[in-house]
C-alpha cells in the first residue's frame, strides 16, 4: 500500500518525465529509529528524457522534478534512471 507521499512523488515524476516505466519503493521502514525525518525511497525510472544525459545529469533532473519534496519530505532517494534503449540491451 502506498503512502500519500509516495503517490505525490509518483505523480510528480509521471508528470515531468512521462516514463515508460516507474517503480518507487518505500524503504522508510528499514530506517526506523535512525532519527531521520522524511521518507527513504528507491526509484527505478525509464524515460526518453534521460537520453544523452550523464548519470549526474539524470539525477539532477529527478532532484529538480522533486525540488520541494527533496527539501522537506524526502530524506533519501536512491535513483536508477535509464533510457529505453538501455533497457532493451538488458538480458
Block residue for cell numbers 525540488? 67
- pLDDT value for 56: 98
pLDDT block averages, 10 residues each, the chain of length 91: 82 97 87 63 97 98 94 91 84 56
- pLDDT value for 18: 97
- pLDDT value for 1: 40
The domain ranges of the chain are: 4-88
* 60, HSE (Cβ side, Cα atoms, 13 Å): 5
Distance, in Å, from the CA atom of 7 to the CA atom of 25, rounded to the nearest integer, reads 11
Decide if 87 contacts 46 (C-beta within 8 A).
yes
- pLDDT value for 75: 85
Write the burial class of residue 82 (CB in 10 Å: 0-12 exposed, 13-18 middle, 19+ buried): buried
Distance, in Å, from the CA atom of 62 to the CA atom of 79, rounded to the nearest integer, reads 8
CATH architecture of 4-88: 2-Layer Sandwich (3.30)
Q: Tell me the pTM.
A: 0.86
Amino acid at each position: 500500500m502506498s503512502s500519500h507521499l509516495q503517490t505525490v512523488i509518483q505523480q510528480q515524476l509521471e508528470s515531468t518525465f512521462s516514463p515508460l516505466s516507474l517503480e518507487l519503493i518505500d524503504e522508510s521502514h528499514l530506517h526506523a529509529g535512525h532519527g531521520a525525518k522524511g521518507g527513504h525511497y528507491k526509484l527505478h525510472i525509464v524515460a526518453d528524457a534521460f537520453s544523452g544525459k550523464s548519470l549526474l545529469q539524470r539525477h539532477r533532473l529527478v532532484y529538480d522534478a522533486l525540488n520541494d519534496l527533496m527539501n522537506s519530505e524526502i530524506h533519501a532517494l536512491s535513483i536508477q534512471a535509464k533510457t529505453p534503449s538501455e533497457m532493451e540491451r538488458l538480458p
